[in-house]
Amino acid sequence: MIRWISIAVLSIALIGTVVWGYQEHQDKNAVLVHAENSYQRAFHDLTYRIDLLHDKISTVMATNTPERLSPQMADIWKLTSEAHADVGQLPLSLLPFNKTQEFLTNIGEYSYRVAIRELEDEPLSEDELNYLAELYEQANEVRRDLRGVQHTVLNEGLRWMDVEVALATNEPGDNTIIDGFQTVETNAESYIEAGDQFGVTASTEDEKELQLDGQEITEDQAAQMIRDRFNFDESVNIQVSESLDGSQLQTYNISFENGDTRGFAEMSKKGGHVITFMMNRDLQDAEISLHDGMNRAAERLEELGYEDMEPMETTQYERVGVYSFVRTEDDVYYRPDRIQVKVALDNGEITALSARDYLVNQFSRDDVDFERNLSEEEALDLVNPALEVEETRMAVIKNDLDEEVLTYEFLGRANDSTYRVHINADDGFEESIVRLKQSEEIFQ
Amino acid sequence: MKSKKLRLFLVSFAFVIGLSWNLSTETTEAFSEQVIQQGAVGDDVIELQARLQYIGFYNGKIDGVFGWRTYWAVRNFQYEFGLEVDGFVGETTKQALERSTEYDQQYVNQQINEGQDFTHYGGQDRDQEGQETQAPSPTAVNVPNGFSQNDIQLMAQAVHGEARGEPYEGKVAVAAVILNRIESSTFPDTISGVIYEPLAFTAVADGQINMQPDESSREAVMDAINGWDPSAGATYYFNPDTATSDWIWSRPQIKKIGKHIFCY
């Protein structure tokens, strides 16, 4: 009797397990198919858009009138940005695919610039037409390669999930998709340089090495400088390590521990400039005001030898005040030369400072003479009349082309918002308009 | 006998009066001593906004954050009252405000605590219900330009998942890498795009990103957004002990922080 009961119970359990296992399997498959489908969509979108991009470039080459050219260029710009987003959805981040992405970015950048310029006065030059022809060829190559991969994927039913697994486990041996993308990338490597003359080569690598002024210092000197600066005695443990070979700026990375404060500092090997430091400890409730914190930060900057620094932005985040200072010279604000300072509002200690922008810009700037052709009134006339301008100053900023320009900076209000407008002091170009936002409601 | 009772009554009466007077000075005491300036948060800012609204200089929300609208209101006030126009609320500005406005702290705090939309203009009818209210918390927070609290939360989760157990500068560096990728032409242009890019972060792939981030990850993200970058411009990092990709080793390496090597 007992035997029969146990047989019955066990068989029910077995059947139950089988059913459960089957359902789990189904669920897992559904999830996999779902993931695979979104990869497939991104991939097919990508090939389609590159194809379209290629078409569009050829259309541009055959277009004559500026009225048609502008919208076509804007179309190209939109396509490159969409293709860029498609790439971001594919599991390619462990695959060298950045040259191709740079290629896309360069086309986008270039077409954007042409789209927004006054083509009536400044039609496409001979050089630019040649550049376009080159882009056309290159886009064709990318298109052909990608369409090839797509054909294989469709024909042989290749799955992107396999690509993901192969890349994640580092066995990209004989995956057709990976091979295909590597071919695209290898080809792309050869055609980056052409855009140089139009200033659109957005290469992130190969940036020039940075040099700061001063004597080369040793590790021990670096440690000693940190001790002196923060008044540490010998009991404070300081560790120094060197930056690695690829670094644009050779630095010492210094970490130290003083009681319950842990700190980190980065110091240039040349000159021993402290590029950044940050100290981390548990903070108590804010005791001093944002204003007092600012005064302390300003004092400290002066002690450190940074002169003529003016606070541009002051913000309290719970227990810390964060201040952005910029260098001023003859009442001109040099916005690129900024120093960030963080002050703990429990005891007013300067807990972090970053002078990277300041140092890099100071040492890489050649002597520049900024032209000033416009008076303040003339510049003011160029600002949107709906804007109620409240404050005016002169400021040097980096514009969209990454060049430093002298501008009139206007702070103004319109429809309950505050805007910062920069008008080029030389030619009156409206370099930038930014809506300033500072707070956000707390979502409940 | 009778006079004794009277005296007792008088004493206790005086005591009660004194007590309530004490209480009332405590609750209506104006501004603390600090100079209030743009970017500040807290009770003083609530009072400042309420007072400015009382006489019509400020028509925004009383939220306890000294933003641009408050700034312009202060400057206008200073201009109209013949004070130095600098946007700092110091002693003279506070005195001028106190002379020219009333501040019904109880009413304002109650409205804020109840989460109501309200205004605090002078001469406007208000229900005067005399019940104690606890101090309100600001209904807004400062955020760096271009970022929402939710963006910061998402980044903090990613940093927590990726760099738990790393030194603080290592966390800031990881947060900085996310920001550097947004700037770079070879990565997506949004925080979520960079974080959720397939295979970009292991913490995303294995779901660790869904953990609640600790305070130090949040701080690290704020520091990175506010301009600190211990990674010196890196767009990649990897753990040399567990990295599975050969290609990642070919990137130019910048430095090692904690267990991670940062590279371009």
- What's the pLDDT band for A191 if we cut at 50, 70, 90? low
- pLDDT, residue A22, reads 93
> What are the strands, taking DSSP E only, across A159-296?
237-242, 251-258, 261-268, 274-280
Rounded to two decimals, what is the model's pTM?
0.83
Most A CBs within 10 Å: which of B152, B186, B215, as the mutation test of the A interface? Answer: B186
Instruction: Give the residue from chain A lying closest to B39, CA to CA.
Output: A315
- pLDDT, residue B25, reads 38
- pLDDT, residue A325, reads 92
Complex confidence, ipTM: 0.85
Most A CBs within 10 Å: which of B226, B259, B260, as the mutation test of the A interface? Answer: B226
- pLDDT, residue A134, reads 85
CB contact under 8 A, A416 and B69: yes
- What's the pLDDT band for A400 if we cut at 50, 70, 90? confident
The tokens describing A438, both together, are 């500072």
Q: Please state the length of chain B.
A: 264
Average pLDDT, chain A: 84
Q: Is the pLDDT of residue A266 over 50?
A: yes
Choice between A413 and B33, residue whose per-residue pLDDT is larger: A413
- pLDDT, residue A201, reads 52
Choice between A375 and B244, residue whose per-residue pLDDT is larger: A375
**Nearest alpha-carbon partner for A46 in A137, A195, A149:** A149
The answer to whether A183 touches A93, Cβ cutoff 8 Å, is no
Is beta strand A332-344 parallel, antiparallel or unpaired with respect to A388-398?
Answer: parallel
Q: Is the pLDDT of residue B127 over 70?
A: no
Please list the residues that pair with A254 across neighbouring strands. A240, A265
The gap from C-alpha A403 to its chain's centroid, in whole angstroms, comes to: 17
Mean pLDDT value of segment B16-27: 42
Mean pLDDT value of segment B220-232: 89
Choice between B190 and B139, residue whose per-residue pLDDT is larger: B190
- pLDDT, residue B22, reads 43
The H helix count followed by the E strand count for chain A is 10, 13
- What's the pLDDT band for A19 if we cut at 50, 70, 90? very high
**Nearest alpha-carbon partner for A142 in A22, A49, A31:** A49
Q: Is the pLDDT of residue B157 over 90?
A: yes
- What's the pLDDT band for A41 if we cut at 50, 70, 90? very high
Give the count of Cβ contacts less than 8 A between chain A and B: 210
Most B CBs within 10 Å: which of A440, A443, A444, as the mutation test of the B interface? Answer: A440
The set of residues, in sequence order, having a beta carbon less than 8 Å from that of A263 and lying 6+ positions away, is: A230, A255, A256, A257, A277, A278, A279, A280
- pLDDT, residue A26, reads 92
- pLDDT, residue A104, reads 86
What is the distance between the alpha carbons of residues A266 and B183, in angstroms, rounded to a whole number? 23
CB atoms under 10 Å from CB of B215, counted, come to 10
- What's the pLDDT band for B156 if we cut at 50, 70, 90? very high
The answer to whether A177 touches A44, Cβ cutoff 8 Å, is no
- Report the range out of A35-44, A212-221, A267-276, B52-61 with the highest average pLDDT: A35-44
Give how far Cα A220 sits from Cα of A227, A301, B36, Å.
11, 25, 44
Q: Please state the length of chain A.
A: 444
The answer to whether B52 touches B97, Cβ cutoff 8 Å, is yes
CB contact under 8 A, A290 and B40: yes
pLDDT in tens, A334-354: 988 899 999 998 888 888 999
Q: Is A4 on the interface with B (CB under 8 A)?
A: no
The H helix count followed by the E strand count for chain B is 10, 4
- What's the pLDDT band for B27 if we cut at 50, 70, 90? very low
The tokens describing A20, both together, are 């459960």
What is the distance between the alpha carbons of residues A129 and B111, in angstroms, rounded to a whole number? 65
Closest CA–CA distance from residue B226 to any residue of chain A (Å): 8
Q: Is the pLDDT of residue B109 over 60?
A: yes
Of A210-219, A289-298, A400-409, B10-19, the least confident:
B10-19
**Nearest alpha-carbon partner for B168 in B228, B208, B210, B232:** B228
- Report the range out of A12-21, A88-97, A370-379, B15-24 with the highest average pLDDT: A12-21
Query: Which SS3 state, helix, strand or coil, does residue A223 take?
Result: helix
Residue A337 burial (C-beta neighbours within 10 Å; 0-12, 13-18, 19+): buried
